[in-house]
Structures are given as C-alpha cells and as structure tokens.
Amino acid sequence: MFRGKQTRVLLLNDMERLERTLFRLEQGFELQLRLGPTLQGKSVHVHINYPAPGKKFVSSSFHQLEWVNPSGREDDSDKYCKLDLEIAGSYQYYFGCGNEERTGGGYIVVDPVLRIGHERKILPLDCITVQTYLAKCLGPLDEWLDRLRVAKETGYNMIHFTPLQKLGASRSCYSIADQLELNPDFSSPGKNYTWMDVGNLTEKLKKEWSMLCITDVVYNHTAANSKWIRLHPECGYNLVNSPYLKPAWLLDRALWHFSCAVADGKYSDSGLPPLIENDKGITILQGLLWTEVFSQLKLWEFLQVNVEKNVEQFRKVLQAGNRPAGPELEGKPKLKVIQDSQYRRFSNTVDMQLALEMFGRHTNGPKSIQECCDWFKMSLEELNAECYKEMHSHHEKAINCIVETVCYERLASHGPQLGPVTRTNPLVTRYFTFPFEDMTMEQENQLMQNPNDACHLLAHNGWVMADDPLRNFAEPGCNVYLRRELVCWGDSVKLRYGDKPEDCPYLWAHMKKYTEITAKHFSGVRLDNCHSTPLHVAEYMLAVARQHRPDLYVVAELFTGSEELDNIFMTRLGITALIREAMSAGDSHEEGRLVYRFGGEPVGSFVQPNLRPLVPSVAHAMFLDVTNDNECPILVRSVFDALASTAIVSMACCASGSTRGYDELVPQQISVVKEERLYPKWNPDALPSSVEVNLQTGIMAGKLALNKLHQELAEKGFTQVYVDQLDEDTVAVTRHCPSTHQSVLTVSRTAFKNLETHQYRAHLAPMYIPGKIEEVILEAHTVERKAESYVKDERFINGMPNYTVEIREHIQLKDSEIVKQGDAITEGRSEFVEEIFFEKLTPGSVITFRVSLDPNSQKMVGYLRTQLSQFNRLYKSGSLIDSNVPGILKIALDFLMSKLTLAEMNVLLFLCDAEEQEDGGGCYNIPSWMPLKYGGLQGFVSVLSEIRPKNDLGHPFCDNLRQGDWMIDYVSSRLMNKGGALREVGKWFSAVFIYLKHIPRYLVPCYFDAIIVGAYATAVDAVFNQMSSFVQNGSTLVKQLALGSVQMCGVGRIPALPPLSPELEDVPVRLNSVTKQEEQCCISLAAGLPHFSTGIFRCWGRDTFIALRGLMLLTGRYLEARNIILAFAGTMRHGLIPNLLGQGVTARYNCRDAVWWWLQCIQDYCNVVPNGTDILMCPVSRMYPTDDSEAQPLGTVVHDQPLYVVIQEAMQRHMQGVEFRERNAGPQIDHNMRDEGFNVEAKVNPETGFVYGGNRFNCGTWMDKMGESDKAHNRGVPATPRDGSVVEIVGLCKSAVRWLMTMNENGNFPYSSVTIHRDGTEQSVSYKEWNQRIQENFERFFYVSDDPADPNEQHPELVHKKCIYKDSYGASSLWCDYQLRPNFTIAMVVAPELFTVQRAWEALEIVEKKLLGPLGMKTLDPDDLVYCGIYDNALDNDNYNCAKGFNYHQGPEWLWPVGYFLRAKLYFAKKMGQEKYNESVYLVKNVLSRIYTHLERSPWKGLPELTNENGQYCPFSCETQAWSIATFLEALYDL
C-alpha cells in the first residue's frame, strides 16, 4: 500500500525536557526538529547522537544538525533541521541557545526491521506471534527441532528461549552460573555442543521455518555458585567494598541462627514450634524476634559515637589553647555524626571544628573547660539517642517484613505453604551468601573483620515492592537489606557495576562478551528484571548488542507502576515492545479493554497527513495470553476459557504470544525453578494418550488458525480496532482495513468461571453486523473427548488429554453450527446490516467473520477513492473507475479552482455567519454543538484540524455527518446557489458527494475530511498563485496571514463601495439578481469579523487604509486596491474621507485621521505597484462636488476629477481649516454623543505645521470610544478625545507633505504648494516650507526630555514617563499629552526622519518594556491611574473608567500597533548598529512566533482586534481583524 514519505515534526521549546516522553519512529521516516514559539528568533543549536553518515553509534558522541530554511527569509516558522532515520535504536537529542549548552532535550526511539526466510521478507512488528520455551526443558540440542516444531506447526513466527547458559545450583532458568558457557545439559553423551551450533539452529529456523529466535539477557545477578564470582568477588556487593552492609549481614546471620534454633525445637516451650500454624505462633515469633535477635545484636552501636573518647579528644583541643576563629555562627548549628567508613561499632566521629565553634567559646580556665566538655558530652549523648531511635525504626520495619513473609509462606492459602521451619526451608530467606562451614555468631564476627573472608560474603538479589526503579537498593543510603524489605532470590548474587567500566573492569568485560554472544546468534533479547537493571549498564550492553545486530528486537517487562517511569526505560534503552499479560484482566471486559489499549486506531479513523507533528507514543505491546510468572489459567479461570481468551489476545493490533504448555492445556504452572521435565515432541500421528503432540492436542488447532489470522491482519493493514462488550462474558473484536474497508470480526465467549459451578446465561441477544458477511473464517469451541483423565507425567510436560478443540474453517454463514443468519437489513441508502443469532456460542466458543462492504458501497468507495487520488496517491489503492462518471468529475478540481477570482475565493473559503445571513443563509449549525465559524471551507477545516489528529470520532461534528446528509448538502448547495465559476465548483462537490452518501455512515467522517481537506488545499494553492511573489515565496506564516486578504475582501449581496467612474477601465461588473441590470462589484475590505462584516458597519475609512498596504498591496491585489482608493476618493467632503462609509450616502465625516491614512496608501500604491503613479491620473467620480451638495447620481462623468486634484483638495482644505457640524446631528446618528461633539474641526498650526483639531466631546482618531453608561455618568464623554495635535496624524501629515514635495520635484504631481484665503488675502504655503516646519518643531514639542531644565518643556509637573514622545500636543486636558501610548511608533514608521535615532531607540525600549504584551500592545501605560486591561462592553456599573467598555483604549492590548512597533524597532535598530539589529530581529521573530501559534490554533484563522491584559482572551473583540493581520504582514515584509 502506498504511504509516501513520512515526516514527523518535533517542536523544540525552551526549557522543555522530554526525557520521560516516548517518541517512536520507523526506519525510513524523516524527523524534522522545528523551533517552537519560545525559541524563534534565537540562535539555537541542536545536537544528536544518531550516527553521522559513515560513522558508528557512540552514545556520548553528539553532532550538530544543520538548519534548513525553505523560504530563507522573514520568520522562523518554517526553519528546521532534519534526520533521515535508517538505523534502529535509542537516540538522544539536546538543544541550547547561544552560549547555553543545554536548555532542553529528549530521546527518540527508532524501531527495528525484522526479516525472515531465504528471501529476507520483512516481518512487521504487529505480525509477531511468539512462544516462550524454558530452555532447560528442551533436552539435548539434537532433539530441539522435534520439540520446537510444535511452535512452527501451530503458526508461531518467533520463539523466546529462557537463558541457554549453564544454570546455577537452584536450576532456576534465570540463575546463570556462567554467562559465557552453553548449558552442558544440551550436549548428549559423546557430543559437546557450542554456541556455534546454537547459532546454526537459530539461522535454520529463521531461513527455513521463517521463525525468529530471541532469548533473555540477565544483567542484574549471577548464580550464587558461579565460579567466576568466587574469583572476582569485587563484582558483587560484599562486606569489603560495601562495608555499610555489615549491620544487615549480622542481622541476617542472627536470623539464620534463630531459624536453626526454631527448627531444632528450642523455642517450642516458649510457644514457637517448628510448624507455625496460627496467628498465636506469629505473635510469639514477633516477641522472640525482639528479645532473642534484635536486642542482642545492638546494631545501633554501628551508628553511634564513643562519647568518652570524643570528649577526651575535645578536652585536649581546648587545653591546647585552640579557640574558635571569627564571629559566632548564625542560627542554631547542629552536630552530625560522621560515619566511620569501615562501619565499626562506636567508631564514628563528629566535626571537632564545629564542636569548638559551638562549645569552646568561653574557656577561661580549667573550670570553664570542664563546663564546655560537659555541654559537648550532653550533645553527643543526644546524638546517640537519635541513632538508637533511627535503628529502632529499622528494626520495627524489619520485624514487620519478616512476619508478613512468614504469614504468606506458611499460613496463607494462596501462598506456597512451606510447612515446618527447617534448615532447607528456613524461617526467612538468607540475604547474603555464606560459603563457609557453620560457626557461632562470635566466630562470624571475626570472619567479618578479615577482608580475605569478608569479600566472599555477598548480597543476594531480589526485588523491593513499590520501590523507585531508578534507585539501586544495594547502594549506600538505602537500608533495604537492614529493614528486610527485599523479596530475596537466595540463589543469585546482585552484581555491582559501579558507574562505568573502570569501576569494575572484569564484570563489564564479562557481560560485554555475554552480550556479544547473544546478539550474534539471536534476533532479539528480553531484558530480564529490566526495572531493576541499572539503566547505564543496560544502555551500554544494548549499544554493544546493536553493533553486532543493528535491528535488534528488544522486549522487556516493566513493573514500575507508572507510564512515565516506563518511558524512561523505553527511551533510554530503545525497547521495542513491553510484555503485557492477559492474565492481569479479572474479567472479559478488562480483557477487551486491553486489546483496545495495546494498539490500532478506531474504525473509520481519519487519514493523517504524511507530514504531521510527532506526538508521544504508547509503548508497543507484546500481548501474551500467559507468561511463566502467571498462575495457571486453567486453575484460575477454567479449561474452557483458554481458546476464548487467546482469541481475544490474537485480535490485538500488536505482537501477541503465549508460553509453551498453554495450548496443550497443561493444568499447572510450569515453574522456571522447579520444572525439570521435557516438552513433548511433535508427532502428527500421536494419539491423545501419547506424550507427543499434534493439532488434536488441547487448543492447538485453534491456536494455529488464530496465529495465521493474527499475521494476516497485520500484513494486510487491518490497523483499525473496535471492541464491543456484547454481555458480561462475550467480547467482539473488529479489525478493519482502511484501504479495502474489509473487516474481520471475532466474537469470543469467555469462561472465566468454572462451568460446573457457575450459571452462564442461556440466551444471547442477536448481533447486527454492518456490511456483507463473506465467510466464517473459523468457528471453534473446546470440547471434552473420550480419553484417559489427566495424570501428570514424570518425564514430560503433558496437557489434559480429555479436551480438544472442534474447529471448522472457511465455511459459508449458512453452514455455521454456532450462529444462524437472520435478515439482511438496509437502513437508509447506505447501511447494509446482517442480523446474526447465536445458537451455540457456548462458553469457550469463538467465531470469526470476514465482512466486506456490500457491493454497492464497495463500488462507491472505489469511485470516491479515484476522485481523492488527485489530492493524495494513497487513495489509488482500492480505487475504481466509474464508467458513468459525471462530466464535471472528468475535470480536475485544480482547473476549476483556477477559474475563481479572489473575490470568489472569499465565498468559497470564508464568509462568517453575518455575511451568510446577508445572502439569506447562515453558517452550518450543529444542533448538539455550535455553528461553524464560516460558511466556506475554512469553517469545516478548522473543526476537522482539531479532531483529526486525536481521531475524535465521537465529536458532535462526526455524529452529525453519520446521522444524515445535511452538512454534505450544505457544502454543495451553498456554492451551486452562487452562480458563475463557484457553481461549477459546487457541481463538483455535489457529484463527488453522491458517492459519499452511498457508503456506510461510519466511513462518512473520514471521507468527508479527505474531500474537504483536498479541496481546501487546492483552493489555497490557487489563491497563492494569484498573489505576489512575496506571498508565493514566503514562509508559512506569510501565507497564513495573506489568506486574511481573502478572508476580509469580498463583495457581498449589496456592494459596499460607491460606484466608480464609467471612464475607469477594468472595473468588475455583474448582473444584479433583482434588477437584472449590470452593476459594479468591487470588493470592499471588512474591518473585522464577525462584528464589522456587513451592512453599514462593514467599511470604515480608517480601518480600510490602515489595512490596505498589508492585505492588498503586499499581496499583489493592485487593481482592487486602486478601486478602493478611488471609491473613497469619490466620497471626499470637507477635505475628509468618511469614517463610516455607509456606501457614501450615509457616510459620517467625524474622524480626523482617515484622510491621512488614505493619503499614506496612495503614496504606498505609487511606491509598491509597477507604474503606480498612473493612479494619480485616474478619474474620481465625486459624490459630493461641494461640501453642501446632495449625493450625486453616480455613473455619470459630469463631476469626475483626476485623483491628484482630490489629493490637493484634501491638503488645501486642511491648511485653510476644516470646521463644520455633522449633518443630521443628534441621536438619530449617534445616541451617545453630546451636542458639542458633532462639531468637527481639523486645521494646521501655521507656526508648527502640525495638524490639530477635535474637542473634548468627540474622538476623531482610532481611539474612538464614546461613554455609554448612565450609571457611571460617562455617557457622551469620550474616553480618549485626543484633541489637539495627535502624534500619528502629525507623522502621517509629514509623510504626505514630504511625498507630495518629492512628487512635484519629479514632475509627477502638478502642485508645489497649497493656497489659502486668510484675512481677505490669498496666501501660499509650499510643501517644502510645510515639510520644514514640521521637521523643525516635532521633537521640540513632542519629545519628553529627561532634563528637568529643558526649555521646551512647559509642564514638567505633568511628566510621568521620561524619554518618550507625547501622545498629543495641545490637548484640552493637558495631562493627556503626557500619557504613554503606542501611537508615536506609527509616526516613526511613516516619518522616521522626525526622530533623533538615540531618542527614538530609548522611547522604543520603554514601549517594549511597558506596553508590549504576548499578542498585542497595551493602549495605555499600566502605571497610569486610569489603566484597566480588561475590556467588558456588557458590564454596566458605577465605575466611571470601565462601565460599558469605557476603557476600550485604556489598557486592553490591541494587535495592529504591534506591527508598527516592530517596523519602527527594525528601522532604528539598523541605525544603532549590527548588535542592536540582531537583538531586534530576535524580538520581532519571537513576537511573530506567538502570532503564528495563535493563527494555528484559531478556528477563525485570523488575528483578533485585541486581547485583555497579558494576552487573555477577550470575548468582546472581533475574532479576526483586518488591520491586525495587515500590520504583521508589513512587519514580515520589512524583515
């Protein structure tokens, strides 16, 4: 099946340490490491120990990865470094910033590729079916094939051997006497087999039987009787290299002597005979342990100090005249015991220097010396008392542990019931070896003192319940041996590796050789006792193993009790799979849950893209029906459950397996310690009573069929899993193939309880299976047969001969003996369901169906996949050609999309609910959830991109798709109703949806997703093809922001712009659906969605021209930008352009800044567009030829003027002075404004050249919030009147004047000056002169100096922040001039020449520190008294500063000013030098990364108008705002 190149993306975030997160990847994958938001803009270096090409893996050898930046510019959103993963193993990566070496890191695990057979066919990991063998039960090596053939004939493809090495005295499979020697038991008389013979056998199994072999490696311990440990006792924990174990060793010996005394009946008179039979005996034992063992040993003396000796030493120090130097110690210092390194009684000391400081300050003679010594003595006695207490608590714990062990081993019904205490079965297992003759405790004490003997007193291994697996319990500071917490393996010695090979050279070399032998001959290893094996040791050994076998399969059992801790082992060691046990399930429901948990994805899952985020993985499982550690299932459950439970396990989408004996129904646990019998051989002709086995034995025939099925499901891509609990005993597991949509369904009726004692229900409810049942793959049940009853054989491990499996394979449904076919029902047009009645699904029975889609659904899926293959080659598999394919589907969708204009793309992709309603519709609404954000494809894609990665098929969106065709019809009919090229796209959707409607409903969500996502990607590509090279070659962030141009620019049912002059060329037209007349249909720019998207509130002069450069000019939409500029020019009145456009007819001319933004855009148009100055000659159709004329009928050319004339009018009117009262002033146009507020004024100060205007009752700039609250008494009061000369308008005016001056000089603008009438005379002011006046006066009046004596500062008492630029000059409320706001950064961008570089830089630093938020810019200094960062337009109370959103611009963080701040920062940073520029680029990239993150997560795919303080979401903000998107695009362009 075609999968294409698989790429996974890992985001790196500062200080993110993912060492406990498991990332699994396959060979052939590409891993991309990208910068997360916290790192973008920084100088990041990434290192990994994955071997560089041609190099070998060395875990400590890291190399740096190279960065790739596909777009090579702007931001870091696309920058990555990559690895092509070709070698299995565990690899560590880390990254740092600048000079910091490591600020984060983690691990990746690359799975091995396993191969079998002569042709080296790949064995997928989920195909594995493993059977465990106790090697010692296989007999001589020349008989192995006959015994192993059982695994081959029952369909296993992997054999797991317990260790093949020479075993220790206990004969436990995991107690190895010599790691390098093959078990001599495998050599028959006259033969001496070697590892080479074992290798030949494993190779034969691999090539001829297509079976892999793995074996255990045991690194944690060796057999107590290993000869090499006698020669190298330093390899264990002994009393010489680990003297801290001496108290524990003494206790162990004392317990042994006590145990011998109990065995000899010495305490019978005290009530403790050798046979302990009840709780009374336990109580007596507890008392005797205290009196006879613990009290006698006085182990606290190992912790204590010799008081007299230390006091005498202290006295001598004082008598020698030693005194403490320096001042008294602060606080209350405390003496501590310094432990004697050799752990001798009373040999500990204390810090004499500290003792001197504490007790030696007042020594003026013999008497005071004695006093000091007395204080010191008291302190030592207190210390000794604490030591006694500490040892006493260890004793209490030890006695509890001993008593619990004795209760379990001798009294508990579920324990081993060891019987009387003897020397063979002592009271407790010994914790240490004692390779000497019996002796007394006194003699043993002497033994401990002699290093030559003490080195052979070695600690046994074991495990500690609920212990930290990362802690070595035999190391210093861990009192496990003293507290008797170890569940001890008395046949093995714990190995002591130290931290590195140099710490114990012999042991590391020995184990390395052991590892090399294993890796040479086996395809994989099972890490025995993995959770107790020192991690660094296992890491080193596995690296050695992988040098010999790169594709090493590694399995382990982990009993850490925590997935996070499991992951540490998984990631560090590169473990391929964790062993999971079906026997851990207490009922069938839990067993089914394990199947669901251990692999696969839900049926009907979404197709994930080939390039997608790397998400944490769950450990791959090897799911076993039974392990050697489990109790016998036949005894715990019932003999009838064996087949049913193994069927459930076999249906899991992961490796599965069993232990030899399970399939033969051996009715007792096969003990790894005690079992010495041999496995039976394979004999196809054997009789039931024979000790040989074949397919008639136990459930072996059933297991063969299930193993074959397990492998087929994995090979053929049945990766989807559904588990259904039919009743308390019956589990149905479905495996589904997403490319063929074939399913395999196994119904297992478990029998956890004995059939003779438990009443199972007689009738099962019928089952309804969606699709067509092709066949019954198998039906089977366990039956009793006539044979002798089970008798345990002395020589062979035999099963129960009186049970076998009756199985029938590949039969028709009608021939089934277990089920009866009911009706085939068709629900709706696509749900074909078969009804099944269970007639004889008795406990222990299994039936497996192969289910296909019904023929019609199969065809429809095939036709659908053909259409989808134009988006993704993956769908070629399973595709079919429709001979009656509709004509529209013969046309590629990308061709249809290429015919759409960007205005039509606005309809296809976007339109919020208000825009849809304007056209008589609405966004699609999911009744149980919410409406989508857009009617267009983006509305669907936003939801799908949330639910697809999580496969959230239970989401209301998916429910809606499964329940009916409403959503599907909405998508196509919405476009069909639009006409033109959109109708053709609608027809394509309609035709492809016909196929979708005729497939089973459970598949509809994933195929709907594929159609929508494919169409969306095609549309977006077509959008970018119509845009500028800046967008086409830009980063992902640039492209995402550029989509904002399509989002915001549309026509609507009623065009928002007034018509343009008929003389103008290339004006788009359409047929009016009502009048049937041709009408202009220029796009307009919505201010923001959803609040400013339709009607009179769609188009605002200010918003349009702040956004126009970013959204239209930089994206290459020149013609549409021209039309918008000219349309607004046509509505000029009083020298102003409207604030609220209202199609020109209901325009309001109440803003002072829109005209200056408009002029800035004309300047930008001339600079950006090729031959841009041509726009100055374009005709403008004047709606208002004079200030007082009524709106003129449009479409005539009577009042046309070239644009340059209109520009000159605006300049002239301002110099003359604009002063008028709004038409229809009063509540009919603004019910909040006071009467004085309707008076509009905009003039130029002849002295300074500054534009000024407004009054304290109106707000003519972008900060235009008018008070609305009666409760707070702010109605009719502007929150931010900003009257006087406003800094950004002065900057915009300077920019316009400078530009017009230059244009005139270049011959592109006919006017060199403005002419005004003042005091009855005509005066002329040249642009050059005007420009000069602003230049000379700007810093004089706007800069707030840090010099209190600055002659330009008229109101030093109002200065709140120094080294900034005022927000205004000459405001009616003088203190408003001095408020820190972000507006001067706008002036810095449009007229940077006004600013001294150093002053500008300092002011920008203050803005960054005080105003810059996570996404937006605080609109007011947070230190200001009226600052309030939370905007709540619904809150009405008596708070003057906040009621009814009065603080709209008094703190909330607006996004669009950030773009200007970043641009200003970049501009002045260049002037400040390279270092400052580099710092600024980092800042810009970092801010942009947060923008990118927001865009990625926003269902609106836009940037909001504002956020509340510190980036908090504001529910009253527009979700996506034109100028927010535009100014960030401009910043990216500058970058």
CB 1180 within 8 A of CB 1313: no
How far apart CA 1487 and CA 1508 sit, in angstroms, is 17
3-state SS class at 160 = strand
* Enclosing H/E stretch for 773: strand 772-784
Token look-up 């396990």 returns 649
3-state secondary structure 1364-1404: EECCEECCCCHHHHCCCCCCHHHHHHHCHHHCCHHHHHHHH
Cβ atoms within 10 Å, residue 1370: 16
Token look-up 């790169």 returns 550
3-state SS class at 1326 = strand
Tokens read off for 322: 């030693």
Which residues in 145-254 belong to E strands, given as ranges? Answer: 158-161, 165-167, 176-182, 212-217, 221-223
3-state SS class at 1102 = helix
Report the first-to-last Cα separation within the chain, whole angstroms: 44
Tokens read off for 24: 């699994």
How far apart CA 428 and CA 1318 sit, in angstroms, is 115
Long-range contacts of 1494-1502 (CB under 8 A, 24+ apart): 1494/1415, 1495/1037, 1495/1040, 1495/1041, 1496/1040, 1499/933, 1499/942, 1499/943, 1499/946, 1500/933, 1500/934, 1500/942, 1500/1089, 1501/938, 1501/942, 1501/1040, 1501/1043, 1501/1044, 1501/1047, 1502/1044, 1502/1047, 1502/1089
Residues involved in catalysis = 528, 531, 629
897 phi and psi angles, rounded to 5 deg? -65, -35
DSSP state of 1189: S
Tokens read off for 173: 């499979």
Cα four-point dihedral sign 280, 286, 287, 288 = positive
Tokens read off for 653: 């989408």
Maximum alpha-carbon separation in the chain: 135
Can you spell out the DSSP letters for 718-740?
Answer: --EEEEEE-SSSEEEEEEE-TTT
Nearest to 150 by CA among 800, 727, 691: 691
Nearest to 598 by CA among 613, 582, 615: 582
Classify burial at 452, counting beta carbons within 10 Å of its beta carbon; exposed 0-12, middle 13-18, buried 19 or more: exposed
State the amino acid at position 1029 in one-letter form.
S
CB 623 within 8 A of CB 650: no
CB 482 within 8 A of CB 398: yes
Cα four-point dihedral sign 529, 531, 533, 535 = positive
Strand 17-18 to 104-110 pairing: parallel
Nearest to 783 by CA among 698, 666, 661, 662: 698
Spell out the residues 6+ positions from residue 1475 whose beta carbon is closer than 8 angstroms to its own: none
